[in-house]
Amino acid sequence: MAKSDAFQTNMDVDYVISYRFAKTGKATAVAKFEKLVESLASVGMQTEVRNGGSHSVLLFVRVASDEHLYGEVYRSRVRDWIHGVRAAAPPKETREALEAEPLYEAERLRIIYQLITNPVSEGGAGITPKEGEWENVESLFALHDHAYNKDWIKKWTSSYFLKTEDLDDIRNRLGEKIAFYFAFTQSYFTFLLFPAAFGAAAWLFLGHFSPIYAIVSALWCTVFTEYWKHQEVDLGVRWGVRGVSKIEHKRHDFRHEHIVTDPITGEQVGVFSVTKRLQRQLLQVPFAIAAALLLGTLIATCFGIEVFISEVYGGPLKWLLVFIPTGLLTTFMPILQSVLTKMATQLTEYENYETHAAYQTALTQKIFVLNFITSYLPILLTAFVYVPFGNIIVPHLDIFSVAVQPFAEDEKQLKGPSADWSINPDRLRKQVIYFTVTAQVVNLGMELIVPYLKRRGFAKYKEMQSDRAAKNGGAAPNVALNDPPEDAAFLKRVREEAQLDIYDVTTDIREMVLQFGYLSLFSVVWPLTAVSFLVNDWIELRADAIKICVEMQRPTPWRADTIGPWLDSLSFLTWLGSLTTSALVYLFFNDGLGPDGHPSNIQGWALLLTVFFSEHLFFLVRWGVQIAISKLHSPGLQKERRDRYLVRKQYFEENLNLLEKIPKMAEDAGEISRQSLEEDARAASLKESTPETAFWSRQKGWREVAKVGRGFIERGEVEVSPERKKEL
Amino acid sequence: MAKSDAFQTNMDVDYVISYRFAKTGKATAVAKFEKLVESLASVGMQTEVRNGGSHSVLLFVRVASDEHLYGEVYRSRVRDWIHGVRAAAPPKETREALEAEPLYEAERLRIIYQLITNPVSEGGAGITPKEGEWENVESLFALHDHAYNKDWIKKWTSSYFLKTEDLDDIRNRLGEKIAFYFAFTQSYFTFLLFPAAFGAAAWLFLGHFSPIYAIVSALWCTVFTEYWKHQEVDLGVRWGVRGVSKIEHKRHDFRHEHIVTDPITGEQVGVFSVTKRLQRQLLQVPFAIAAALLLGTLIATCFGIEVFISEVYGGPLKWLLVFIPTGLLTTFMPILQSVLTKMATQLTEYENYETHAAYQTALTQKIFVLNFITSYLPILLTAFVYVPFGNIIVPHLDIFSVAVQPFAEDEKQLKGPSADWSINPDRLRKQVIYFTVTAQVVNLGMELIVPYLKRRGFAKYKEMQSDRAAKNGGAAPNVALNDPPEDAAFLKRVREEAQLDIYDVTTDIREMVLQFGYLSLFSVVWPLTAVSFLVNDWIELRADAIKICVEMQRPTPWRADTIGPWLDSLSFLTWLGSLTTSALVYLFFNDGLGPDGHPSNIQGWALLLTVFFSEHLFFLVRWGVQIAISKLHSPGLQKERRDRYLVRKQYFEENLNLLEKIPKMAEDAGEISRQSLEEDARAASLKESTPETAFWSRQKGWREVAKVGRGFIERGEVEVSPERKKEL
C-alpha cells in the first residue's frame, strides 16, 4: 500500500489503544493485556493487535455490530431526554430513531469512548488510561480522518470568514466542546472588525487616550460579552446540547468521608463534608496571595532593574545589560509558573470535588488568577505605579547598582538618577505594543512551529540512530519488520499518531480570553490593538486547525454547552476594563504629563470620581445591553420553543380522551343545575331543612333568578326616585 | 336568625356579585342582568338573587355540582404540569386525584373565580367586573369566613412569632400571593431581632456613626436579601407554586398592531412592535426626571423654608411659622403624588404590555422611583447637601424672607444668617427618627384607624338619615324590607361586605420594602431604627390581618411564587445602602463636625475611596453570602428533587421493557462478535476482499488477539534487550 493510500482509509478502526509494557514484568504484562482484550470483548468490541515498537503494542478496536451500538445510542438519548437536554423522548424503534436523527461521527466516537472508559457498574469496560490497574494503557485515541482534515484546512485557509455550517462541521467531527472554542474565536474575530476599524480611525484622528475611543471600546466589550452569552444558548440548542453541563459526571478521584443513604433515591452515596471542603477552599486565599507576591516580586524586580539600567545607568555595556531583566524573566517565570500551576492542581485535587464540572471550575479560577498576574501586572505596574509615583520610587532604584557595579567605569555612572531624570512617557505604549503584538506573534510561533521543529528533529535523530546501527553491521530492530506489506504504510502512520500529544482545548480558550483582556483593559493606550488581534486571530483560527490535524492526536469528542468558567473571566475582564480604561484616560488624556514626565494636575478625588462614574455607567449600560440582547431573535431558542410546544401538544392529545370523559362545565350546565337543584329541593324536604338549603331553593333555575332580579331592578328605581314616590 | 348566626354560615355561597344599575336605563339593566345570570348558568353556576339596596342587586353564585368543579380542577392541574409547575402529571381518575391531593379553599375559590372571569374562548363566562359590557358588575367577591377570621386574629395577637404552619393556613385561605406578603414580613420581622439587639448595644456603647455598626448592618441587609430569595424558592415548592410566575396571563387591554401566524403553534397572535414599545418606554426617562424635579423642588423648597425659619429667622410667630413647610408638604405632596401615580399608570398602559407580569413589573418600577424620592430624598438632602454645603447655601436662603416679611418687626430679623450661624448637627438624627418612628406610627394609624372611623361615621350618617326620614313621616326605603326573616341577618352582613374596599397586597409589600430602605440606607445615623421597626412590624402583621378581615372584602386568592418586582427593589436598596452608609460614616464618624457644625477634614478623595472600597467589599460579600446560602439545606428543594426523581424513575420503568428488547453490549458480546466476524470473513471471501476486511480478519476472537499480543510482548523484550540479542 502506498503512503498516500495510508491516509485514505482508517481501516474502519474506531479507537487505537497504545499498550506499553516497558516498566512491567513480562508475565504481568501478558496477563493484563489479556484482561484488556477480554474487557473490550465483553462490551462488544472487536479487536486486532499489531506491534507498536519500543515496548508497546497497538490494539485496534471497533464496534463488533451496529445493532449493539444502536442500543447504546438509544440509551444515551433516553438519558439526555430524562435530564432535560432533549425536549422529547427519542422514537422507540431504534432503527427509526437513527433514521430520524442520524448518528454523527462525534456522537458515535463519544459513545464508544464512554463504552470503553465508563465503570463496569455503568455498563462500560472500565478502562481508564494511565490510571489504576490500567497503567499500561498509555493512550486511547481515534485515528485522524486525513481526507477530511485536508479539506478542512484547505477550505479555511482560503476563506475570510467561517460560516455557521463550518462550525457545524467541526461539531460533527470533533464534538461540541472544540466546536465551541472555534465558535467563540470566530465570533470574537468577527466582532473585532469594528474596534479594529474604529481603533485605526481613533489612532489617526483622536490621538492617544481618547475618551471617545474608551467609551466605544468599553461598550463594544460589553456587547461582545453579552452577545456571546446569547450565542452560546443559541449554538447549544442548535447542536442539541443545551443543558449537558447540568448532567453531573462523578469524578473517579473523589474520596468520600462516609457513606449515607440518599433520602430521596435510597442509593448509597459517598459524601464529603461541605464545611471541610470550605476550610480547604480557604487555602486559596493564602495561595493567591503567595502567588501574587512571588510573581509580583519577580516582575517588579525585573521591572526595577530594567528601569534602572535603561534610564538611570549610564555606564558601558548598557546595550547588553538591558537584556538582564528579560533573561531573568524568561528563566524564572516559566519555572515559577509551572510550579504554581502544579500547586493549583494539587490544591484543587485536595478540595476533593464530586463532579468534573466543579473541579474544572475551581481549577480554572486558580489558573486565571495566575495568568492574570503574569499577563497584566507588568502593564498595571507601569500605568499605576511607575508613571504616577516614578519620581518617588526611581531614586531608590540605585540598590540595583550592585548588579552592574563590575561594569561601571567610575562612581558617577552608578549614582542615582540625576535631577534631570524624567519619566519615559513612551514606556507604557511600548509595553502595550509588546504584549499585544510581539508576545502574540511569539506565542503563535511557539504553538505551531516549535512542536513541528521538535517532531522533525526527533524523527531525524531516530533516522540517524538507525543509520548508525545499520553501519555498525547489526540490523536495527525494526518494529515494522513483521508488518504485512499491505498494512505497512497504515501501521507506520498509526505509530506516528500514537507519538503525538493530546490536545487540550482549554489552553486555547484561555489564550483568547487573556487576549480579550488586553483589549478590554489597555487598548485605550494604543488603539491599534484590535488591528493586531484581528490579524493574529485570523491566523490563530487556521493555525489551531492545523495544530489539531497535524501536531495532535485526534481529540476525543466531548459535549459542552458553554466555554465554561472562562465565561466568568470574560465578564470579569469587561468589568475591570471599565475601571482601568477610565483611570488611564483620566491620567493620560492629552498626554497630560508635566514637563518632568510626571502627570500634572492629578487630583485623587477626580480620579476616583471618574472611575466611580465609569463603573456605574458600565453597570447601567450592561443592564441595557442585556435587555436588548434578550429581545434578539434566536433561531436556537425558537427551535427549542417549537420542540417544547410539540411535546406539550402531544401530552395534551394523550390526555384529551380522558379530559373529555370528565363532564365539562360549559355543557348545558343550566339544565343540569336545574335538575340537580330539584333533586336538592326534594332531598331538603326529605331530610331536615337547613338554612343553606332554604337559602338556595328560593329561585329555581337561572330564568327564575332573572325574573326575580328584574323585579328588584324595577322596584329599585321606585324606591329612590322621589317623583315616583309622590305618584304613589 | 340572630346576628351571631349570620357570621356562622356563608350559606354555601362561593361568590357574590354586586350588580349596580344606577347609571343604566331600566330595560338595558334588566337585559344585561339576564345575560349575566345566563352566562353564569352556562359555566355551571347556580345563582340566587336578593335586593342590594341603592340601585343594586346582590347575585349569589355557587358551583352547581362538585363533579363539574372536579373536572375544572383536573384541567387546572394538568395545565400546571405542562407548564412545569408540577413535576408529575396528576393521577388520571378525578376522584382519586382529589383524594391524593385535596382541594384547598384558596384553590377552589381561584378556580371558580377564573371560571367566572376567563374569556369564553378559554371556557370561562367572560365576566370582567367594571369592564366593557360588564360595567354594571360592580364587584365580584367571596364572603369572609368569620369563624376562621376570629380564630386567626386571636391566634396571631396572642403569639410572638408566626410559624410556617400559620403561613400555610393563610395560603390555604387567602392564596399564595397574600401568604407571600405575610411570609416576607414575618421573615423580615424575625431577622430584625438581631439588628435591634445589636443596634441597641451600638447605641449604648459605640456611639453614632459607628463603622462597626455600619459593617454589621450592611452585612445583615445582604444576608436578609439573599436569604429571602432562598426562602422564596423554598416556600414556592412547599406551596406547589414554583414556576407559576412563568405562566403568562395575557392582558385584556393589550392592543396589537397586527396579527401574525405564530411560526411554531400556527395560532393567530396579535403582536406589538418591540421597537415601538422601546420608544414608548424611553418616555420613562423624561417622566422620571420630571417627577424627580417636581417632587425634589417641593421637598427642597419646604426644606429650605424650614431651615430658614427655624435657624435663620428670629422674628415673632416663629413657633407658628415653623409649621408652614409641614403644611405645604402635607397639602401638595399627596396631590402631586397621586397625579404622578396616575401618570405612571397611564404611561404603563401606553407601553402596552402583553402580559400581566410585564405590566406589573413596569408599573412597580415607576412607583418605586416615586416612592424612593418622597421617602428618602429629605434625608439625603440633609446628609449630603445641608451638612457639607450648608455654610455655602444657607446664606442664600434669605430669599424666603419674603414669606415671613409680614411678620417681621424690623429689618434685622430678616437679614441673612449672621456670622455665628452654624449647622444644626442634630437635624439629621431628628429627621431619621421622624421617618423611622413618627411616620411609621402615623402610617399604621392611617391604615387601620382612619378607615374604621370612616366606616363608623358613614354608618352613623346613614342611620341619622333614616331617623330623619322616619321623623318626616314617610317610612325610609328599607332594602331589607322584603328579606325573608331567616336570611335577614345574613343579607345585612353581605350588604355591608359589598361596601368594603378591595385589598391590594402590593401596597403592603411596598410599605415593608420602603421601611427596609431606611434600615439599609440610614440606620447608621440612629442605630435604634431596628428596634422601632421591630415593634412596628409586630403590630403591622396583626394590623394587616385585622385589616383584611374587617376593613376589606375577602381578597380573591391569587397564586405567586415571589414578592415580584419588589425583590429587585430590595436588592437595589441593599446595594445603595453600601454607598450611603459608608459615606455617612466617613462624613460624621466621631461626630467629626468642626466648631461651626461643618464637618471638618473632609477630603473628596478619601470620601470617594471609602465609598468605592465599601461598594466593592459589598459585591464580594454578597457573592460569598450567595454561595453560602446556596449550600443551605432547603426542604422545599429537596421535595422538588424527590418529585423529579420519582418522575424520572417512572419514565425509566416505563422504558425498561423497551430497553431490554434492544441487545445489550455487555451480554456475551465476545461470542457474538466472533460469530459475526466469521460471517464477515465468509462474506469477504465471497465478494471482493477490501483492505479493511483483510485488516480485521487476521485475528479471530479476543483469545487469538490475546495470543498474538503475548507474542509481541515477549518478542518486544527480545528486540530491545542487548543481553538477549547477544544470546541470539
* pLDDT, tens digit, 9 for 90 and up, residues B196-252: 999 999 888 887 788 899 999 999 999 999 999 999 989 998 888 888 888 777 887
Residues of B in contact with A56 (CB under 8 A): 716
CA-nearest residue to B651 within chain A is: A82
ipTM of the complex: 0.80
CA-nearest residue to A673 within chain B is: B64
B263 contacts A638? CB cut-off 8 A: yes
Q: Which long-range contacts (CB under 8 A, 24 or more apart) does B648-657 make?
A: B648/A82, B650/B88, B651/A82, B651/A89, B652/A82, B655/A78, B655/A89
- Comparing A87-91, A343-347, B299-303, B410-414, the range with the smallest average pLDDT is B410-414
pLDDT digits (tens, 9 = 90+) for A2-23: 455 667 778 888 899 998 887 7
By Cβ distance, the residue of A72, A642, A652 closest to B264 is A642
Q: What is the pLDDT of residue A45?
A: 86
Please say if the pLDDT value at position A208 is more than 80: no
Please, what is the average pLDDT of chain A? 81
Which residues of chain B are modeled with pLDDT < 50? 1-2, 419, 475-476, 594-596, 664-672, 718-728
Cα B558 from Cα B560, distance rounded (Å) = 7
pTM, rounded to two decimals: 0.84
Bigger pLDDT: B423 or A136? Answer: A136
Q: What is the pLDDT of residue A666?
A: 43
Residues of A in contact with B26 (CB under 8 A): 713-714, 717
Distance of residue B206 Cα from the nearest chain A Cα, in angstroms: 30
B84 interfaces chain A, CB cutoff of 8 Å:
no
Q: What is the pLDDT of residue B219?
A: 93
Report residue A269 as a C-alpha cell: 452515596
Report residue B157 as a C-alpha cell: 395577637
- Whose CA is closest to A556, among A107, A181, A165? A107
Q: What is the pLDDT of residue B601?
A: 66
A677 contacts B46? CB cut-off 8 A: yes
Q: What is the pLDDT of residue A161?
A: 84
Q: What is the pLDDT of residue A410?
A: 57
B651 contacts A692? CB cut-off 8 A: no
Cα B579 from Cα B575, distance rounded (Å) = 7
Q: Distance between terminal CA atoms of chain B?
A: 121
> Which A residues in the span 259-298 are in contact with B, Cβ-Cβ below 8 Å?
263-265, 274
Query: ∠ CA(A393), CA(A396), CA(A398), 5° rounding?
Result: 135
Distance of residue A694 Cα from the nearest chain B Cα, in angstroms: 9
Determine if residue B354 is left, alpha or beta; phi over 0 gives left, psi from -120 to 50 gives alpha, anything else beta: alpha
Share of chain A above pLDDT 90, in %: 22
- Provide the pLDDT confidence category of residue A28 given band limits of 50, 70 and 90: confident
Q: Which amino acid is residue A330, in one-letter code?
A: T
- Whose CA is closest to B41, among B59, B56, B57, B24? B59
Residues of A in contact with B78 (CB under 8 A): 655, 659
Q: What is the pLDDT of residue B240?
A: 85
Mean pLDDT of A252-259: 83
Bigger pLDDT: A69 or B478? Answer: A69
By Cβ distance, the residue of B37, B69, B487 closest to A709 is B37
- Whose CA is closest to B49, among B25, B21, B72? B21
- Whose CA is closest to B651, among A290, A81, A293, A652? A81
A493 interfaces chain B, CB cutoff of 8 Å:
no
pLDDT digits (tens, 9 = 90+) for A447-483: 878 878 887 887 788 777 767 766 665 444 566 666 7
Residue B555, phi then psi, degrees to nearest 5 = -70, 145
Instruction: Work out whether strand B56-63 and strand B15-20 pair parallel, antiparallel, or are unpaired.
Output: antiparallel
Cα B560 from Cα B554, distance rounded (Å) = 18
Determine if residue B327 is left, alpha or beta; phi over 0 gives left, psi from -120 to 50 gives alpha, anything else beta: alpha
Q: What is the pLDDT of residue B670?
A: 45
Q: What is the pLDDT of residue B659?
A: 56
Q: Which amino acid is residue A511, in one-letter code?
A: E
- Is A576 buried (19+), middle (13-18) or exposed (0-12) by CB count in 10 A? middle
Residue A258, phi then psi, degrees to nearest 5 = -150, 170
CA-nearest residue to B610 within chain A is: A608
3-state secondary structure of B224: helix
Cα A283 from Cα A351, distance rounded (Å) = 9
Bigger pLDDT: A326 or B313? Answer: A326
Cell numbers 491599534 label which residue?
A528
Within 8 A by CB and 6+ apart from A471, the residues are none
B115 interfaces chain A, CB cutoff of 8 Å:
yes
